[in-house]
Amino acid sequence: MNKRLLIVESPTKAKTISKYLGKDFEVMATVGHFRDLPQNKMGVDLKSFEIEYVLDPKKKEVISQLGRLSSKADEIFLASDPDREGEAIAWHVEWLLTEGQKKKIKEEKIARVSFHEITKEAVEAALKKAAKIDMNLVNAQQGRRVLDRVVGYSLSPVLWKKVRRGLSAGRVQSVAVRLICEREKEIEKFAREKFFKIKAVFKKGAKFEAELVKIGNKNFISSQRLKLFDGSYTFSKSLFTSKSEAEKYESELEKEFTVKAIKSRQSSKSPVPAFTTSKLQQAGARRFGWSGKQTMTLAQRLYEQGLITYHRTDSVYLSDKAIKEFREYIGKNYGQDYVAEKVRVYKNRSKNAQEAHEAIRPTRVAVKTPEGLDAKETKLYQLIWQRAVATQAASARLESSSIELGNGNSIFKAGGLRVLFDGFYRIYGDKHEDQLLPELKEGEKLQAEKILIEEGETAPPPRYSDASLVASLEKQGIGRPSTYAPIISTIIARQYIEREEGKFKPTALGIATNEFLTKNFPKILSLPFTAEMEADLDKVALGKTEWKQMMKQFWSEFEPEVKKVEAVADRVKVATESTGRPCPECRQGELVIRLGRFGKFISCSRFPECKYTATYQEKAGFKCPSCGKEGVIKRTRAGRKFYGCSDYPNCKWASWKKP
């Protein structure tokens, strides 16, 4: 019997696959990458773009095990994840086995297998279609890795000289910081204005409200657009900007209203596609308040247990097999009325939807609530299950109605909605309460029970959240499925941004760094250029572009720019917040709040001449629930905000939520 070795990245994945294979198979995990660029130097020849790869010293045992097991195997299968990163890991394993060890393995013994779901059927089918490593995907991964390394290692020394020591810059991360900084500028510039709505309350059977929408030829609510860095944002502005004006109008209204028009129309609503990576992260943020990293960690666990298909994808495609199973399941469990009349097929927006993956879906539709999952894993699995299965459910049928009521030259409007058939909403588990309007006839007279004047205020564009930042990056063509979560984690860890009530706000350090980079490197931080580089990497993955040639072209333009900025650019000062207290050490400077590696701290404004520092406790506006002392805001090393007691370590009360 032939001895076979199958190599994956994750121990959990190895454990799941082991259950599907015979005794002649040995399954082992590399535990991610074991060969990469060096940590303490560029590691790239900037003329030839040859890469200096080094073995991870922490992976000696893994490397030893790879050599030991491969020498005993008759066949070796590389089964890392089905994307560029996974293809690169397979390539590094092949290099190690054929070139990087004393006892070299013949290349003919090694094959690449790829599957998008970890099920017995998928693994067995992949083994029958074993092939060679796709060097186009490997080169796309190398191109991204080298591009990011070259940009980071070129910009970081400049930031050390011009902004602050210890800073680093990333190609895509810096663009994400720019988006957040530009949004903050728009918020600061926004001039809030009060407005007043007028509503009339009626009763015919049940109570209902109608809102003023028109006076003469003027619409009551007019739409205005604010131009933002990443597009535009719409907000509403009322006709009434003072309460006295609204009250004057209200006093002149007739007591009686007349039904001017009754409109009703039926419409259908279809389900959205199954999740892509970005849409899953957005749903995790909006529904559960999770970070992109948290959502992807949970999805990784579900994938490795064989419960969902591969979770890094920008494709909405579903296999014929999955569609058939979904349709059969809906018909059996909900009735044939709930099955879509025709097979519903969704098209990818991007021609380069990554490596023809499927969308994220359950591997077995009959498993609605898997056993052995924790609460968060269950929530995410059910979200994925509902969204994927619903794609083959019938459309919902709705009836919307409106009543226009006249009063002098004014028009008030009331709206209603009724669900005629819930369709795919049934799969989602959503229940919609009908908003019914009373039976009325045109020309009918109604007396208003009361007139309401509601005060509001125009709102600035909102700060980015995990969901909206990922959506913006995706819309602009920046980043790819595997990069969204790391982008956000990195810029938080570098303290360029911070989370404030679930939204991203730039720090003083982030604002200063962004100001310097956008002023001196406008091209590399522009959205079109960053999107263009992503498109070029996609071309490499398709074999249409040579990655080293792409890098040579980039470096020929970027290198002179770096040298020029390093020579002539002005230094940028990071803004500090004054405490209003003199420095107790030098007596000349004042104490200011600075942002350091582990959060905010107090130092002298004359630093580095005076090196006085002290801890800083940011008051949170409440008393500690445990001991009654002042509550303070703290941060983890990853930059996540939490609340604690100012008397720590005597009192160890802490909470993610403000009490």
Q: What is the CATH number of the domain that holds 314?
A: 1.10.290.10
Residue 138 lies in a domain: no
Q: Which residues pair with 197 in a beta bridge?
A: 454
pLDDT at 638: 60
Residue 143 lies in a domain: no
pTM of the model: 0.86
- One domain, residues 427 and 308: no
Residue 599 lies in a domain: yes
pLDDT at 616: 82
Residue 140 lies in a domain: no
pLDDT at 479: 86
Does the pLDDT of residue 456 top 90, yes or no?
no
In one-letter notation, the amino acid at residue 329 is Y
- One domain, residues 498 and 474: yes
257 contacts: CB under 8 Å, gap ≥ 6: 200, 202, 210, 405, 406, 407, 412, 445, 446, 447, 448
Domain boundary among 369, 392, 415: 392
pLDDT at 223: 42
pLDDT at 81: 94
397 contacts: CB under 8 Å, gap ≥ 6: 266, 267, 268, 419, 420, 421, 423
Does the pLDDT of residue 226 top 80, yes or no?
no
- One domain, residues 378 and 354: yes
- One domain, residues 33 and 54: yes
Chain segment 567-586, per-residue pLDDT in tens: 999 999 888 778 888 999 98
Residue 86 lies in a domain: yes
pLDDT at 352: 53
Query: How far is Cα 658 from Cα 656, in angstroms, rounded to an integer?
Result: 7
- One domain, residues 127 and 171: no
Using pLDDT thresholds of 50, 70 and 90, give the confidence band for residue 272.
very high
Specify the range with the lowest mean pLDDT, choosing from 269-273, 349-353, 464-468: 349-353
Mean pLDDT over residues 233-260, rounded? Answer: 82
- One domain, residues 56 and 124: yes
pLDDT at 5: 97
- Per the structure, the complete domain to which residue 83 belongs is given by 4-133
Specify the range with the lowest mean pLDDT, choosing from 309-323, 376-390, 645-659: 645-659
Does the pLDDT of residue 130 top 70, yes or no?
yes
Domain boundary among 375, 392, 409: 392
pLDDT at 639: 61
**Best CA proximity match to 644, nearest among 629, 655, 636:** 655
Using pLDDT thresholds of 50, 70 and 90, give the confidence band for residue 355.
very low
Residue 340 lies in a domain: yes
Largest Cα–Cα distance in the chain? Answer: 96
Mean pLDDT over residues 153-167, rounded? Answer: 91
- One domain, residues 317 and 365: yes
Residue 141 lies in a domain: no
- One domain, residues 315 and 410: no
Residue 210 Cα distances to 122, 285, 309, 439, 622, angstroms: 57, 34, 48, 15, 42
pLDDT at 357: 80
Is 317 noted as a catalytic residue in this protein?
no
Q: Which residues pair with 204 in a beta bridge?
A: 206
Does the pLDDT of residue 637 top 90, yes or no?
no
pLDDT at 597: 63
pLDDT at 221: 55
Residue 259 lies in a domain: yes
Average pLDDT, the chain: 90
pLDDT at 657: 84
- 631 neighbors 621 (Cβ within 8 angstroms): yes
Domain total for the chain?
Answer: 5
pLDDT at 350: 64
pLDDT at 225: 41
Domain boundary among 106, 133, 160: 133
Does the pLDDT of residue 228 top 50, yes or no?
no
Does the pLDDT of residue 8 top 70, yes or no?
yes
The CATH number given to whatever domain includes residue 47 is 3.40.50.140
Q: Which member of 20, 153, 249, 310 is catalytic?
A: 310
**Best CA proximity match to 403, nearest among 449, 438, 445:** 438
Does the pLDDT of residue 327 top 80, yes or no?
yes
- One domain, residues 296 and 263: no
621 contacts: CB under 8 Å, gap ≥ 6: 631
- One domain, residues 492 and 558: yes
Query: How far is Cα 307 from Cα 363, in angstroms, rounded to an integer?
Result: 6
The CATH number given to whatever domain includes residue 159 is 1.10.460.10
- One domain, residues 479 and 554: yes
- One domain, residues 493 and 556: yes
574 contacts: CB under 8 Å, gap ≥ 6: 163, 164, 508, 509, 512, 594, 595
Using pLDDT thresholds of 50, 70 and 90, give the confidence band for residue 233.
very low
